[in-house]
Structure 1
Amino acid sequence: MALSQAFDTMRGGVNVDLEEVLRSIRENGHRDLTIKGVTLPNGVSIAEAEINTPQDEAMLLRVLEDLAKKDPLQAAVLGISPTSIARPGPLLSERITVYLGDMRRAERSAKNVLDTEHSLGLFLALGQDKPIEQVTATDVRSFLDALEVYPSNASKKKEFAGLAPADILARAKNGGYAGLSMRTKEKHRDRIAAFFNAQAAEDLIPKAPHKAILNRAKTKTDAPSREPFSAEELALLFDHDAFTAWAIKYPHRWWGTVLGFATGARVGEIGQLYTDDVAQESGQWGVHIRARRTDQRLKNAHSSRFVPLPTSVLAAGFLAFIDDVKRAGHDRVFPHLPYSDTNGYGDNLGDQFRRYAIQRGLTGRLKSFHCFRHNVANALVNEHHVAIQVVQEITGHDLTLPPGLKHYVNPGTIPSRLAALEAYGPPMPLPAYTPGQFDRAFKQVRHMERRRGQAADKRKISANKN
């Protein structure tokens, strides 16, 4: 209606502030508009024009600007000039592409980029692609409201296969599907906020639209996502017969689980170990958590560390296992684990352990490999009263030290790290390793790598066809 009235006024030769008209449309919304049989005062006729989308609006602005350029006299009469017509900025989808490119250029982790791409893609799919300056707090609120209904792991559920996010949301509103966790919803919001903050920093928008919306209280969002395994749960996991029956198939099940239990290292840090990461420092055997190779990664700068191995792990035969790995001709400690650009080498071990835990009765959704990390930190601080600094040097959390004292390997603190881990235990007897027990499994690695390569080639061919 606003555009129609503007054209009626222009037919009468009266000046119209088109920028003000379009600003009103953006703020108050607009409906689809069809303009037919309009003749402007300079003789230019518009037989029919549909204004349905932000792209149509942009095209109309370009036409009006061209008119001002071609007929300066008539433009002056109408009060139109190229500088007075506000061209819309780049589309939301275009800025998302630029932002993701910036993240890759800054060498953000592949997982971070993928997660951000997912959040921004969901925001775009559940909303509307429009010029970036037209995205308002209302759009952000609508997205946050949608997250309250959107189902958890929708891409993995058969009933949602092939559906667009908007269709998934519509179906989820009708039926009892498990929703997103509080932490997942907050992560989506954080990524959206980071994106709009970047647009404001580039002066593409006057203010990030999310800033007008209240955050959830910290008491809601700071709930722990994982808890330590209880003594009863550890007894179930490390029952000798059950554990050895499950772990005997692959070295990473056996020793990867033991290392997680004994050191609190992250599953990805364990999965990416090479044989030369197992070494002696100040006379103590341990593992270097580091990123010296292109397929190794750290969560943050504080994660780089040396973790001494307690006596129980060495007594269980870990060094004999490392000798077996080298004798089999492998550089990586756990050569059966496949690499993922998103999560490195940790996915398979984490998934396999999760299935094993469920088989052993640990069905809670937060019972995962990462709980070992909480076992170590909790026991060291609350049960053994180890200094926070020592705990941080073991787990790789942020050190509360001046920058000059943050050493990757600080020989002077290795004895205190070892003493802490010896005190911890770990608190369950570890299964004894028999040298050579994985020799047959090591021979299967080449065949597994060949099959993975063939599967990857098939996926590429399929993708190219589509």
Structure 2
Amino acid sequence: MPAPWLMARTSGLYCRVFVPADLRPHIGQRFLVRSLGSRDRDQARLLAARYALAIGDLFRQLRQELSMAEPNIDDILRTLKSGNARDLIRVGRMQLPNGAVVEGLEVDTPDELESVVRQASAFIAAAAPSVVPTANGKARRLESHGVVVSKRVPEYLEYLNSRHPKYIAKAERVCKMLIDICGDLPPDDYEPDVIDQFVKTIKFLPPNPEKNKLHRERWARMSFLELAKDVESKGLKQASETTVKDHITQLASFFSFCKGRRYMDEDSPLAKRVAKSSTGTPQELRDPFDSADLQQIFDPVLYQSRKLPHTFWPPLIALFTGARCNEIAQLYLDDIVNDSGSDPKRWRFMIRVGSGRTDQRLKNKFSNRSIPLHPRLIELGFLSYLDDVRSLGFDRVFPSLRWTAAAGYGDTVSDMFSAYLRGKVKITDPRKVFHSFRHYFCTQAKNFTDEKSEWISDLTGHAREGEFELTYARELFYENKLRILMKIPMPQIELPIYTSGKFVPYLKATKERKASQAKASPAVKAARAKKRLGTTKAEKMPFTIKASRKPVRETAKGGD
């Protein structure tokens, strides 16, 4: 087949075909140029290819005739010279058995037309909607529409396997909520009134039931429906509006998955609800601390109650770096480096995933960065603390923190800080949490420095935009980062200073405990795990329970 060349002219798209040298004396032209009758480039490319195929066939016929003793080439030359592209392509029209009409079908021969129409008829018959009767009388087009939610959840979780483990755990949890509260039904059977009841019920679920030391063992034996009724009847603290919206969004994602896989025929029952709740909702779910907050948090007398390394240092590091909670909690000693032999203060935090370390994670690719160690942290004795940790043979900065697949090492740090913030500091605003240190750092950098936002992002690990930033520019040098860091104003408050050896007794106890755990038999480890869970039937719990030390009094709804 000769290669077609597509040309654009003011009158439309044309096809140009090169005439072979041996046929030029008979045709009298070097090229054949014909209108394709279309301005659509995709359609024109297809027409040009078919035209070239037809021209190639005519070239072969012409050569065959020229090889004859008495060649008859007039009809072939007339067709080559006068016919346009569409004249050389047959257009068929046929009515299918189901009444549908196929027209404008481009083929070369009548036999090809009938073959194509036969295949189209078979395809239409196979794709015709079929009604599958069900036990409850609801008609379904496909059998797959009748499969209940519990059978779809494993495939949905497998679909999410590239997401953060914490996100996957939330997705599984909200699907269990749906089944517990509304029953295990096919996705199409969750009518709007059923979903309304689901939303009304989850508003009475308690916040973090696995962390409620007074009720968690009793709640662990309840379904989500029973749990909501218990909270409602006793007037206990309910889930926040943000948590409820998060549950709804998670469930909407599951229904979208089912719709995309054709596991349901109707639209998602939560689609309009999620779209409505997202409009006008502020993206910012956390507020920064202000100067008065920080004065209270780091009050020299009050802060002395922070008697553990992972309660003392992470808030200070977050204040002076803007790093995320888990980024701080997962640090190893070799993540804090000084690669300058001439400057003993040239230390950096390396926010990264170390080689072969499966217990470290980053939020996104921009999170991989270095942050200069603020001189104030050095003044507060952070390097002395690192020496204490290193002298006992630990490799992690906060060795007593326990890792979980869902939250890494940061869960304990965040929880203990929240308890301190609400209980002792008396800051009860739910929008102020550990992450508020990061908001404070970013707000200060934006309002009180004249640096470019993309340069500040090199410190904070936020996403960068533009080809220059994403493709060509690399991370800022240490000197530039330190210059920016020192421009960011920090609160003028008295901060607690670490004295060398302060946490050594606790670190030694941690080392002994880890050695004992390493030597324990599998049976002892299993018993300890059951003790931490507080029950021997952990596999039946709707949530995971952690160990408690002292019972606390439950506050009624609206309390601190």
Q: TM-score, normalised by structure 2?
A: 0.62
Matched ranges for 1:31-430 at <5 A: 89-104=146-161, 106=162, 108-154=163-209, 156=212, 158=215, 160=219, 162-174=221-233, 176-206=235-265, 207-213=267-273, 215-218=275-278, 221-222=281-282, 224-243=284-303, 245-247=304-306, 249-280=307-338, 284-292=346-354, 293-357=357-421, 358-402=423-467, 405=470, 410-412=475-477, 414-427=478-491, 428-430=493-495
Q: CA deviation at 1:271?
A: 0.6
Q: CA deviation at 1:144?
A: 2.5
Q: For residue 381 of structure 2, what is the amino acid of its counterpart?
A: G
Q: For residue 511 of structure 2, what is the amino acid of its counterpart?
A: R
The 3 A distance-change label for structure 1 pair 19 and 386 is same
Q: Is the 8 A contact 2:145 2:188 kept in 1?
A: yes
Question: Residue 412 of structure 2 aligns to a residue in which SS?
Answer: helix
Q: CA deviation at 1:166?
A: 1.8
Q: Which residue of 2 aligns with 1:74?
A: none
1:368-424 Cα deviation digits (max 9, x unpaired) = 221111110111112334422123222222222438636997144x43332232122
Q: For residue 270 of structure 1, what is the amino acid of its counterpart?
A: I
Q: CA deviation at 1:95?
A: 0.2
1:72-93 Cα deviation digits (max 9, x unpaired) = xxxxxxxxxxxx9957642210
Partners of 1:407 and 1:323 in 2: CA distance = 39
Q: Is the 8 A contact 2:337 2:349 kept in 1?
A: yes
Q: CA deviation at 1:217?
A: 4.4
Q: CA deviation at 1:94?
A: 0.7
Q: Is the 8 A contact 2:448 2:489 kept in 1?
A: no
Question: Residue 348 of structure 2 aligns to a residue in which SS?
Answer: strand
The 3 A distance-change label for structure 1 pair 173 and 387 is same
Q: Which residue of 2 aligns with 1:25?
A: 137
Q: Which residue of 1 aligns with 2:61?
A: none
1:187-220 Cα deviation digits (max 9, x unpaired) = 1122112212222222222343323546334465
Q: For residue 333 of structure 2, what is the amino acid of its counterpart?
A: T
Partners of 1:436 and 1:345 in 2: CA distance = 24
Paired residue total: 389
Q: Is the 8 A contact 1:310 1:425 kept in 2?
A: no
Partners of 2:231 and 2:475 in 1: CA distance = 53
Partners of 2:538 and 2:144 in 1: CA distance = 38
The 3 A distance-change label for structure 1 pair 22 and 218 is closer
Q: By percentage of residues, which structure has more helix?
A: 1
Q: Which residue of 2 aligns with 1:54?
A: none
The 3 A distance-change label for structure 1 pair 256 and 151 is closer
Q: CA deviation at 1:274?
A: 0.3
Q: Which residue of 1 aligns with 2:47?
A: none
1:346-370 Cα deviation digits (max 9, x unpaired) = 1222222222223122233333221
Q: In angstroms, what is the RMSD of aligned CA positions? A: 3.3
Q: Tell me, which stretches of 5 or more residues in structure 2 are unaligned?
A: 1-129, 531-535, 541-560
Q: Is the 8 A contact 1:246 1:356 kept in 2?
A: no
Partners of 2:481 and 2:243 in 1: CA distance = 34
Question: Residue 169 of structure 1 aligns to a residue in which SS?
Answer: helix
Q: For residue 425 of structure 2, what is the amino acid of its counterpart?
A: R
Q: For residue 356 of structure 1, what is the amino acid of its counterpart?
A: Y
Partners of 1:424 and 1:85 in 2: CA distance = 61
Partners of 1:246 and 1:21 in 2: CA distance = 67
Q: CA deviation at 1:241?
A: 2.8
Question: Residue 182 of structure 2 aligns to a residue in which SS?
Answer: coil
Partners of 2:472 and 2:327 in 1: CA distance = 19
Q: Is the 8 A contact 1:392 1:398 kept in 2?
A: yes
Q: For residue 169 of structure 2, what is the amino acid of its counterpart?
A: L
Partners of 2:317 and 2:143 in 1: CA distance = 61
Q: Is the 8 A contact 1:261 1:372 kept in 2?
A: yes
Partners of 1:230 and 1:178 in 2: CA distance = 27
Q: Is the 8 A contact 2:366 2:462 kept in 1?
A: yes
Q: For residue 96 of structure 1, what is the amino acid of its counterpart?
A: V
Partners of 1:441 and 1:460 in 2: CA distance = 22
Q: CA deviation at 1:432?
A: 2.8
Partners of 1:271 and 1:214 in 2: CA distance = 34
Point out the structure with max Rg over C-alpha: 2
Q: Is the 8 A contact 1:119 1:192 kept in 2?
A: yes
Q: Is the 8 A contact 1:100 1:117 kept in 2?
A: yes
Partners of 1:253 and 1:407 in 2: CA distance = 40
Partners of 2:473 and 2:368 in 1: CA distance = 6
Q: Which residue of 2 aligns with 1:11?
A: none
Q: Tell me, which stretches of 5 or more residues in structure 1 are unaligned?
A: 1-17, 28-57, 59-83
The 3 A distance-change label for structure 1 pair 408 and 251 is farther
Partners of 2:199 and 2:538 in 1: CA distance = 35
Partners of 1:439 and 1:355 in 2: CA distance = 24
Q: Is the 8 A contact 2:458 2:476 kept in 1?
A: no
Q: Is the 8 A contact 1:250 1:336 kept in 2?
A: no
Partners of 2:318 and 2:279 in 1: CA distance = 30
The 3 A distance-change label for structure 1 pair 449 and 422 is same
The 3 A distance-change label for structure 1 pair 180 and 383 is same
Q: TM-score, normalised by structure 1?
A: 0.73
- Counting aligned pairs with the same residue, the percent is 27
Partners of 1:218 and 1:325 in 2: CA distance = 46
The 3 A distance-change label for structure 1 pair 89 and 452 is farther
